[in-house]
Amino acid sequence: MMPLLTICCTTFNQEKFIEQTLEGFYLQKTNFPIEIQIHDDASTDGTQAILIKHAAKDPRIKLILQNENKYSQHIMPWWHYSFPQADGKYIALCEGDDYWIDPLKLQKQVDFLESNPDFVISWTNYKIFNGSSFSSNKWKHQNDLTTIDYNSIFSPYCTLTLTAVFKKEALNLELLKSFKHSKDNSLYLILLQKGKGVFMDFESAVYRVHEGGVYSLQSEFFKNYSSYLNVKEVSDAIPESKTENMKKVIKSLGNATAFEVLKLKHKGEKLTKIQLDFMTTYFEEADFKTKFKYYKRLLKYQFSK
């Protein structure tokens, strides 16, 4: 029987966490068949051995095991390997260090998307685990179901990968592969070309912050700069996404990046050419309000020496 939904999971050196991730998949109670597709990007620890052990016991598990790391070659495993091989009408995403906690997560999200054909993607709320304690998000949404489109996406940033479920038919895979600064946000913005998204306010998953996390512990400059390049690139390629909301998101990311470089410069840290060039160009081309903030901040740093 063909699966209605494919879970696409990516792993890399996550032997400490992957068992709990898999348990979250096994926990799911659905009235439709699923497949569990796991792409391991050439882990050097025991991750692949754990995956092979589980695949031998559960025929729903399909493994894509790499001998050479693809992410380091700027090849996105989901875009190039997972999505093309997913058999489900729907795709659910989860990385190998996060995990699901609600047994009806997939059922609730698929039920909504099946009943609302003008929606193409669903996200839910989630908990954050820092290694010792859990915390919850307070998004201030007015309803249990909140529509997400170009007028509201990333404001606030509640659309995390570990909760996403989307319709495969809404995916423009070739456009997704074409981006130079591709991230998960690229996927979301492309999907919204075909329909609306929904945020469902129940906690279905746990986002883990840890030292081995690829993104969560990156520098503030990297987070802001990579997101700025990413969102700007995708927005430029999708004219209908150029809403006032998206313009504000891009400006906010640009400002955060440029002011972070200014702060690092004030601290006396050695800056890269990329950082210096971005800060200089960005403030030269900024609007009056941003330039005013820049000179005000500059004076503050100078007088604090």
- Residue 217's pLDDT is 47
Tokens of 213: 């996390």
What is the Cα 222 distance to its own chain's centre? 15
- Residue 129's pLDDT is 96
* 128 and 188, same domain (yes or no): yes
Tokens of 25: 């998949």
Element spanning 146, H or E: strand 145-148
Residues 271 and 249: their CA atoms lie apart, in Å, by 25
* 183 and 225, same domain (yes or no): no
Is 214 inside a domain boundary?
no
* 45 and 174, same domain (yes or no): yes
- Residues 102, 203: contact at Cβ < 8 Å? yes
Query: Which is nearest to 59 in space by CA: 108, 103, 9, 3?
Result: 3
Is 125 inside a domain boundary?
yes
Residue with tokens 């908990």: 127
Is 213 inside a domain boundary?
no
Is 240 inside a domain boundary?
yes
Last residue of a domain, one of 146, 178, 208: 208
Last residue of a domain, one of 153, 184, 208: 208
Last residue of a domain, one of 173, 208, 243: 208
Residues 42 and 61: their CA atoms lie apart, in Å, by 18
With b meaning 16 or more CB within 10 Å and e meaning fewer, what string describes 27-47?
Answer: ebebebebbbbbbbbbbeeeb
* 171 and 30, same domain (yes or no): yes
**Which mean pLDDT values do the consecutive 10-residue runs of the chain (305 residues) have?**
96 97 98 98 97 98 95 89 97 97 98 98 97 91 94 96 98 95 94 98 93 60 93 96 97 95 89 92 93 88 73
* 225 and 204, same domain (yes or no): no
Domain that holds residue 225: 220-303
Task: Give me the sign of the Cα torsion angle 19, 171, 242, 200.
Answer: negative
* 192 and 119, same domain (yes or no): yes
Residue 148 sits at the vertex; the CA angle it makes with 222 and 228, to the nearest 5 degrees, is 20
Is 215 inside a domain boundary?
no
Q: How many domains does the chain have?
A: 2
- Residue 7's pLDDT is 98
- Residue 134's pLDDT is 95
Is 236 inside a domain boundary?
yes
- Predicted structure pTM score: 0.93
